Structure 1
Amino acid sequence: MRRPHAVWVQVLLFLLFAVVLSAVPALVGLLADKSGLGLSLFLAWYGIFPPVTLFLLGWLFYRYESNWLRFWGRVSLGVGIWFSLQALVTPLAEASLVFRLLSLPTVLAGDNWLWLWTVIFLGDGICLTVAGTYRLGAASLTRDVPTAASASEPASEPAPGRTRIRTAVTIAAIVLLAAVPALVVWSSVPGTPRLPTSTPGAEGDPASLGPRLPSTEEVWSYIVDIYSFGPRRTGSQAALATADYLASRLTGFGFADVRVETVDFDYWEASRWRVSVDDGSGSGPRDLECFYVPYSGPTAPEGVTAELVYVGTGRSEDWAGTDVAGKVVLVDLPPVEVAWDQLKIFGYLAYDKTGRTKGWSRPYPIGWMIHYLSVYPALEEAGVAGIIGVLRGYPDMGPLSYYAPYDGELRSVPSLYIREREGQRLVEALQGGAGVTASVVLEAAVAPGAGRAPVVYGVLPGRSETNLIIHSHYDSPWASGVEDSSGVGVVLALARYYAAVPAEARDRTLVFLFTGSHMVGAPTNPWFIESHREDIMARNLYDIAIEHVADDFPYDDEGLTARGAFVTENPVVASIFARTVTTRGLDRTLIFPTGTPLGVPTDAGPFQRAGYRVVSLISGPVYLFDAADTLDRVARDELGPMAAAYVDFIERLGQVPDFLLRPKVNLLAALYVLVLLTPLALAGYLSRGPGYAGRPVVMTTGTRKNGGELHGSIGG
């Protein structure tokens, strides 16, 4: 086998290897259904394989180098090429689909310290290769290489001490290389919860059998309770009453430490809204079915009346040269589709128990909102008097009631939504040359800083002060069976269950948290993080957020909507959660790393963005912000199994030491190579001693024209 001796040849060859290894996750996502546990484990741990593979190839190709500096440099250079390629393509992911697909290994592995590993491995590789090439240092840096005269002589046998070292190094290398698959298997095999449990109706004394696992009926009862408070808009009386209910429930479960802390926010509440248009036909103004854009600018009771101007999708090129100052603009808000077949490319797991999800595609409930937010600043700056957004592709699920955006940002321009059929009629009239006048009315109470959003939480001490936060948010746009009565119901059931577990049987401290400001940009979440940075958050291991147990209405109200779990890129946690999903049969569940284009679009997002680890499950049915989100929309049959799955997940986490649950894959990969494999490779190299035989290519000593010895060059 001829080895690639020249450095430039190594760079090109290893770059090719790195590109191929970068493409593997994308190819798996495109060609496989990703529904099996085995494939999800492969992807969760994949970030370790490329640097280890390139390390082993470097050892294979360059183990006959003339000195250990050059050997170590060539091996480090190969690993550095991997990290440098990922460091280059990851920032370019937004610019090209090719770069996005090639950056998938880093997305799956976490991009922490990517440039640091590039500098360490690539920098070491270049410096050591140069040093070894020009023999910087003493002769002791070199391993004796046979000369042309001695190459034909029999090689001396290695000393017994060197043989023992080589044997020990070989055994250690085998153990280390086997450790990764062993850890994969260990972290993913189904574990039996160590806590004894009972189920309703079990024979004997339930107390003697341990705490009762949450049932579907129990979770449902909590959901009904939350739903009965009505629309729980942040800071409303209904939301405040819900917070009191949650604190009372935790106390009733036996929590000794229950707290309610309040955060201020900008309060906004609409009282009257209306859109009417006059097309100049003589029939007079005509009212349109409409709904307000939350936190947009209020008007006087008489509203704003002005000429209506169509600006297409609101992009600057759609209305360039059009005078929109002082006018009401009609803007198309297109839907954003999310499709199972595309989403699965970016995840660890795409669990499809029934095999019926292929081709699944639905409008994303925040899609219309995202478009509105993207075009609003330019329209506001242009001085428009009002905005009428046409909800293109929004399904008819009852009275128009799309409550979004929910960022809690006060805006100055009054804005309202209308349905597509009404919007299309206006577009056709305007394009036909009709002069249309629009009146927009939006009366709202605005009180900056006057809103109150309670945070409710209870603490259950465990054997370890390290804690898991288990949380959901209780505020909602409407009575909202799914958003988020359902998530709160599951968390309450888990709180009841673990309150019945003796403290000495709880592996870690558990914090059950209910935030109340999701619908105004979640200010309670960063406030909680900052307020408890020195206590709860200092000892936090993961935030486990549970939201939206939902059906697939209006497309398939008998089936589940697809859901996604966003997991910090720790391979052990991703493996355990994948095992939980597959063994518990949580159908239509995708598991994503946190670095996908989706980010973490959940109530756990502020925790993740603040640097804390998360496991956050959510679904996005199209009716999520609509009054159509009734109790009928809750996927009731999923409630008990989901609560039981989280008990299993939490208990399995309890069997794993903290240090294995913290690092991301890229950190594990770099340390694995740098701290474990590199010393072994060097020890193995140095143990071979002088005159080592068996090289497939013999390096011979040449002579320069002036008679000096030639030891090689950067070119080989």
Structure 2
Amino acid sequence: MAAAIARRLTVLAVAAGAALGGAPAIAAADTAEIPSGQEILGWTKDLVDLGPRRTGTPGGRRAAEYVADHFRRFGLQDVHFELATSYRWDVARHGLQVDGRAYDSFPSAHSFTPAPTWTGSFSTGPGGRTAEVVDVGDGDAAGFAGKDVRGKIVVFNLRFQVPGLLLGLVMEHLFDPQLSLVTEAESMLQANPYITNYIAALGRAQAGGAVGFVGILADYFDSNRYHNEYYGRQLVKIPGLWVTRKVGARMRAQLAQGGAHRATLRLDGDRRAVTARTVVGALPGASRETIMIQSHHDSIGPGAVEDGTGTAEVLALAKHFGRQPASTRRKTLLFTTFDSHFTGYQSHEAFIRKYVLERRTPYEIVANVTLEHIARNGRVRNGELLVTDRPEPRGVFRGAGLATWPIVNQAIAEHGLDRTITVSAATLGGMPTDADGIYRFGGVPTVSLISGPVYLYDDADTIDKVHVPSLRPVAAAFTQVVDRFDDLTREQLREPPH
């Protein structure tokens, strides 16, 4: 199958180059006022320097205030916060022992949470929770088959399930004039860190009565600092910890020595209600029809790529369009950066209810552009993280009218966004991460740029991981997209039935 996909990548890349190679470059006057890559990088650095921007923390609030302050400087109007209740999950103590031998571990975020809105303290008790250990392999049906996990602690491999290569099966367009996605197979074989077997494995464990879990980061580099999101589709009511592949191998060697083995898992902390802040600012146009440009400003660790870069790209477009007279716009532009990305997307849900479903604002949102993760390519090789100077393969997911497709593809080509695959959201049944809510539940025509480097959820997401050469081209390309969308009617923007 890999060879067939590689041939398809080659054909699409060659065809795209032939079709777009002679396309006229966007006029210099059109991009002259777009912020430079260094200015966009400066905003990203500022956000990283604010400290971890976790929802409900001082760093998270400082990030929201930083964005709002820049919106005002750039001339945006109606700059304000939309508030929503989210939940902050903190650990005071954690630890793991097997038969008395200690193993280095890291808390699995949002485990030990009995209900979506539950708040309070959680604890495995003064001595931790001790139980027999059961290894269920990859956490699939075969791994659980014939194993009694009731009252026990399960060990499973966390698997990253979607390599970029799979997008080759559903892609509609590819811009890769150097054919690097074909010649560098490692880039496309690396799976992203957010589509995993976590929900399925933990669903089976809890249904079987397990009282705790240890997840081995089997597809990861040598780090246990894996900051998973809150996956509301599968409440994880039992405590859990992550260990590295190397630690997991040592632990399994101990378990293989025969007989029953007992683990002691410790996880103490609390979950509290906090305020999430979505930052909103507008540039009025001739009508109430509104194009929305969004990202999210919160993070767990440094969050340079996720989503310091996405927020900085929103700032770049806000600054550019803030310099343009309102008379040049048919539609209003609404700039937003969300909170609660890692804690349950409550700010997104509140925004969709107010702005789209209930329409309690002056803005009639007819299109959305989401910008996330301007990243250097990351791969796992022999258990180590290898970061290259190429951009991470990126996807542009389109859930909008047929008239938007040539606009998006032309912008990608004109501004040299190499290694970009375009995919119909209808084919996948949704959008990645931040864009999914407004597209799938709000029904807003959406175009989303995103990449999925393997280090995205780790403390390794530092400023050196930003693909600096892409910062200004991304801003220029999506400035062009917004400009062209401004000329389309609501009907042209709307995604056809599927």
TM-score by length of 1: 0.62
Matched, 1:247 2:68: yes
Residue 374 of structure 1 corresponds to 200
Matched to 1:638, the amino acid is S
Aligned length: 471
Taking the TM superposition and a 5 Å limit, the aligned residue runs for 1:54-133 are none
Partner-residue secondary structure (3-state), 1:259? strand
Matched to 2:391, the amino acid is L
Q: Determine if contact 2:139/2:157 at 8 Å carries over to the other structure.
A: yes
Matched, 1:348 2:149: no
Deviations 1:240-296 (A, max 9, x none): 111111111111222231011110023322222211222xxxxxx222121111111
Taking the TM superposition and a 5 Å limit, the aligned residue runs for 1:308-323 are 308-323=133-148
Matched, 1:607 2:438: yes
Matched to 1:329, the amino acid is V
Taking the TM superposition and a 5 Å limit, the aligned residue runs for 1:173-572 are 196=29, 199=32, 212-278=33-99, 285-297=100-112, 298-299=122-123, 300-340=125-165, 342-358=166-182, 359=185, 360-366=187-193, 370-396=196-222, 399-407=223-231, 411-447=236-272, 450-533=273-356, 534=359, 539-553=364-378, 554-572=385-403
Alpha-carbon separation, structure 2, partners of 1:238 and 1:518:
15
Q: Which runs of 5+ in 1 are unaligned?
A: 1-25, 42-184, 200-211, 279-284, 668-716
Q: Determine if contact 1:274/1:440 at 8 Å carries over to the other structure.
A: yes
Shift of 1:566: 0.7
Alpha-carbon separation, structure 2, partners of 1:645 and 1:659:
23
Change (3 A) 1:433 1:271: same
Residue 422 of structure 2 corresponds to 591
Partner-residue secondary structure (3-state), 1:459? strand
Q: Determine if contact 1:407/1:522 at 8 Å carries over to the other structure.
A: no
Deviations 1:645-701 (A, max 9, x none): 11222222233344322242x68xxxxxxxxxxxxxxxxxxxxxxxxxxxxxxxxxx
Shift of 1:29: 7.9
Partner-residue secondary structure (3-state), 1:425? helix
Partner-residue secondary structure (3-state), 1:271? strand
Change (3 A) 1:549 1:580: same
Q: Determine if contact 2:398/2:446 at 8 Å carries over to the other structure.
A: yes
Change (3 A) 1:330 1:582: same
Change (3 A) 1:338 1:540: same
Shift of 1:32: 5.0
Residue 46 of structure 1 corresponds to none
Q: Determine if contact 1:37/1:582 at 8 Å carries over to the other structure.
A: no
Matched, 1:581 2:412: yes
Shift of 1:191: 8.2
Change (3 A) 1:33 1:234: farther
Q: Determine if contact 1:37/1:349 at 8 Å carries over to the other structure.
A: no
Shift of 1:592: 0.6
Shift of 1:427: 2.5
Q: Determine if contact 1:40/1:348 at 8 Å carries over to the other structure.
A: no
Q: Whose helix fraction is larger, Structure 1's or Structure 2's?
A: 1
Residue 162 of structure 1 corresponds to none
Shift of 1:40: 11
Change (3 A) 1:38 1:403: closer
Q: Determine if contact 2:35/2:320 at 8 Å carries over to the other structure.
A: yes
Shift of 1:309: 1.7
Deviations 1:93-119 (A, max 9, x none): xxxxxxxxxxxxxxxxxxxxxxxxxxx
Residue 34 of structure 1 corresponds to 12
1:628 to 460, 464, 474: 460
TM-score by length of 2: 0.88
Alpha-carbon separation, structure 2, partners of 1:287 and 1:426:
10
Shift of 1:575: 1.0
Deviations 1:429-474 (A, max 9, x none): 3333143221111112112xx2210111001001232110001001
Deviations 1:382-439 (A, max 9, x none): 222210111112112xx42001133357532001111122222332333331432211
Partner-residue secondary structure (3-state), 1:545? strand
Q: Which runs of 5+ in 2 are unaligned?
A: 113-121, 379-384
Matched to 1:616, the amino acid is S
Alpha-carbon separation, structure 2, partners of 1:31 and 1:646:
24
Residue 654 of structure 1 corresponds to 486
Change (3 A) 1:31 1:651: closer
Q: Determine if contact 2:26/2:414 at 8 Å carries over to the other structure.
A: no
Q: Determine if contact 1:362/1:622 at 8 Å carries over to the other structure.
A: no
Alpha-carbon separation, structure 1, partners of 2:311 and 2:386:
25
Q: Determine if contact 2:290/2:363 at 8 Å carries over to the other structure.
A: no
Shift of 1:329: 1.5
Change (3 A) 1:569 1:432: same
Structure with larger Rg: 1
Range moving further from structure 2, 289-298 or 342-351: 342-351
Residue 643 of structure 1 corresponds to 475
Shift of 1:38: 5.4
Q: Determine if contact 2:96/2:104 at 8 Å carries over to the other structure.
A: yes
Alpha-carbon separation, structure 2, partners of 1:519 and 1:602:
10
Deviations 1:154-203 (A, max 9, x none): xxxxxxxxxxxxxxxxxxxxxxxxxxxxxxx9xx975856x95574xxxx
Q: Determine if contact 1:602/1:618 at 8 Å carries over to the other structure.
A: no
Shift of 1:597: 3.5
Q: Whose strand fraction is larger, Structure 1's or Structure 2's?
A: 2
Q: Determine if contact 1:34/1:344 at 8 Å carries over to the other structure.
A: no
Matched to 1:412, the amino acid is K
Matched to 1:309, the amino acid is V
Deviations 1:315-343 (A, max 9, x none): 34433443322221211223325133x41
Q: Determine if contact 2:395/2:449 at 8 Å carries over to the other structure.
A: yes
RMSD of aligned residue pairs (Cα, Å): 2.7
Alpha-carbon separation, structure 1, partners of 2:9 and 2:457:
35
Range moving further from structure 2, 251-260 or 220-229: 251-260
Q: Determine if contact 2:159/2:196 at 8 Å carries over to the other structure.
A: no
Residue 119 of structure 2 corresponds to none
Change (3 A) 1:40 1:625: farther
Shift of 1:215: 0.7
Matched to 2:461, the amino acid is D
Partner-residue secondary structure (3-state), 2:409? helix
Change (3 A) 1:373 1:663: closer
Q: Determine if contact 1:353/1:585 at 8 Å carries over to the other structure.
A: no
